[in-house]
Structure 1
Amino acid sequence: MDALGRSRIEDFLCLEAQLLDAWDLDTWLTLFAPEASYVVPCNDSPDGDPARDLVLIDDDELRLRLRVERLNSRRAHREYPHSRTNHQFSNVVVGVREGDELPVVASFTVWRFRNGKASYYVGKYHYRFVAIDGRLRIRSKRVVLDMTTLRPAGDLAIIL
């Protein structure tokens, strides 16, 4: 983990964005460590703790796998056929290693195109990366929306 540079982290984030934009969600799941988490707190409580606060998404490894399974099927009516998305990130800040974890924060914009309409999500990604068998993996991904309302986006049916 100590040898990781910002360019390797940015390459990893590029890979994640490409997989999400290609709707290759099964491969995207392989980027996560076992016992991973994916959390999206409510807009009005960006520091919300899923253990005590209402959040938009609070997925552990199982729920994340089930979310991907549903989004890949026709049962996800909000996303069949799939939206076209464009995940962009910038301002990557690599923190100081904490135990076996490396914290990383990046700004993001995700564009979603569906049924002739464009919508967007803006905020910050808060990652905790770990090395497993020499490979970088996501232990946790927290998506903090800067938007004060989801009105421009309408809903949260895609993976940010």
Structure 2
Amino acid sequence: MTASVSTDLASVTRAEVEDFLYREAALLDAWELDEWFALFDSTLRYVVPCNDTPDGDPARDLVLIDDDELRLRLRVERLNSRKAHREYPHSRTNHQIYNVMLAPVSDDELPVTALFTVWRFRNGKASSYVGRHHYRLVAHGGELRIRSKRAVLDMTELRPAGDLAIIL
């Protein structure tokens, strides 16, 4: 259950945003992907740019992931099924969120940045992904929702992690 927040985004506190982001991380670690997907606004965007173009625009640059509502729903369905061979059985993950910073509300969205480390444990190996999330949060019915999430990797290459089959 999500805690109720003010519909006035300007009065949302960092503690409320942190609780929301911690809940998101816990849902991902528990592979509760349907509940995680429910945290998003219907006009969602989930982007992971390539390591060499962290400011890349999906309209003109190659990106690792560029999901709208349909693509993200299909990604969740695939990860929940046996069709995602890279993630069946599921990896164990540990999403760590820290250094959460709120910017002033703009266009009815609350811009938020947070650093992250995601540990992935699979087949006796541990790998990690390190970077920063750029969120655009909105309020719907007294609850925060993610309108966009951009996961910018600080790693110079993905080779140590192997692939990006999990959700950051």
Same fold at TM > 0.5: yes
Amino acid at match of 1:18: A
Matched, 1:87 2:95: yes
Aligned CA RMSD, in angstroms, stands at: 0.4
Name stretches of at least 5 consecutive residues in structure 2 with no aligned partner: 1-8
Counterpart of 1:109 (choices 94, 112, 117) is 117
**Cα deviation digits, residues 38-72 of structure 1 (max 9, x gap):** 00000000000000000000000000000000000
In structure 2, the residue matched to 1:124 is 132
In structure 2, the residue matched to 1:15 is 23
Amino acid at match of 1:114: R
Amino acid at match of 1:58: D
Amino acid at match of 2:133: Y
In structure 1, the residue matched to 2:160 is 152
What SS does structure 1 have at the residue aligned with 2:11? coil
Name stretches of at least 5 consecutive residues in structure 1 with no aligned partner: none
Partner Cα distance (1:95, 1:35) in 2: 21
Partner Cα distance (2:50, 2:140) in 1: 31
Question: How many residues are aligned here?
Answer: 160
What SS does structure 1 have at the residue aligned with 2:10? coil
Partner Cα distance (2:160, 2:154) in 1: 12
In structure 2, the residue matched to 1:63 is 71
- The alpha-carbon deviation at position 133 of structure 1 amounts to 1.4
Amino acid at match of 2:56: G
Partner Cα distance (1:134, 1:76) in 2: 35
What SS does structure 1 have at the residue aligned with 2:59? coil
- Give 4+ residue runs of structure 1 displaced > 4 Å after superposition: none
**Cα deviation digits, residues 114-152 of structure 1 (max 9, x gap):** 000000000000000001111100000000000000011
With structure 2 as the length reference, what TM-score do the two structures score? 0.94
**Cα deviation digits, residues 76-124 of structure 1 (max 9, x gap):** 0000000000000111110100020000000000000000000000000
With structure 1 as the length reference, what TM-score do the two structures score? 0.99
